[in-house]
Amino acid sequence: MKFFIDTADLAEIKTAYSWGCVAGVTTNPSLYAKTGGKLADFEAHMVKIAEACPDVPVSAESTATTTEDMVAEGLRLAALAPNIVVKLPICAESLAATKELKKHGVNVNMTLIFTVPQALMACSAGARYVSPFVGRFDDIAEDGIEQLANIVTAVKNYYGPEHTEIIAASLRTPNHVTQAALLGADIATVPFAAMEKCLHHPLTDRGLAAFEADWKKVTSAQ
């Protein structure tokens, strides 16, 4: 399973990318708003992200609401950098836009996926990625992991990763990441704070402290 970082914060992206394990970036309007960014600076900001990690896909989301506008904005976003992926929310208009964008060689990440039919329709329209959400199910006391399991099974029944990859999204904890991996999601897109938590475990910290203490004994004995 590949790790994407789910943020629009350039500093977080650069830090996570420097670790060597990040294979992509996902952003959305809410994440961009958290950075304090302005509308006029959005495209320039996406260029900065794309340039900061030029060898991995970077999802930039369209806020258009009609098929024609989604296609136009998608083409404009894709032209910003060769690694830009156009992110669209699942709806009738975006399905048609996805089919058209694919004709132009533009990869689409279909987001806000919550059901098996939504995921399969996105795949059928030609989406390169589908992003089923986990944490938002938990917010309404439903089992997001179970829904992810259903989507992974259904998509992989009919499509291979060369056609569509599954991005497990709205992951908030290391356990979410673990479950996504066990279920066979191709990608986990993870906020920076949760990705940091994935790095740590009390036994790792305890073991490292013991190694350092023992090595000091070795060096002091010289």
What angle do the packed helices 192-199 and 174-183 form, to 10 degrees? 80
d(CA 151, CA 81): 31
Quote the pLDDT of residue 23.
98
Quote the pLDDT of residue 137.
86
Quote the pLDDT of residue 221.
81
Quote the pLDDT of residue 141.
85
d(CA 6, CA 203): 27
At 209, the amino acid letter reads A
Provide the 10 A C-beta neighbour count for residue 158: 11
Q: Which two tokens stand for residue 1?
A: 């399973």
Q: Which residue has the tokens 């904005």?
A: 73
Q: Which domains does the chain have, with CATH numbers?
A: 2-220 (3.20.20.70)
d(CA 200, CA 17): 17
Residue among 9, 24, 6, 7 nearest 186 (CA): 24
Q: Nearest 5°: CA angle at 40, between 101 and 62?
A: 25
Provide the 10 A C-beta neighbour count for residue 142: 11
At 172, the amino acid letter reads R
d(CA 185, CA 155): 10
At 48, the amino acid letter reads K
Active site residues: 87
Q: Compute φ and ψ for 187, nearest 5 degrees.
A: -140, 145
Quote the pLDDT of residue 44.
97
In tens digits, the chain (222 residues) has pLDDT values of 999 999 999 999 999 999 999 999 999 999 999 999 999 999 999 999 999 999 999 999 999 999 999 999 999 999 999 999 999 999 999 999 999 999 999 999 999 999 999 999 999 999 999 999 998 888 888 888 999 999 999 999 999 999 999 999 999 999 999 999 999 999 999 999 999 999 999 999 999 999 999 999 899 886
Quote the pLDDT of residue 135.
87
Quote the pLDDT of residue 139.
85
8 A C-beta contact, residue 135 and residue 176: yes
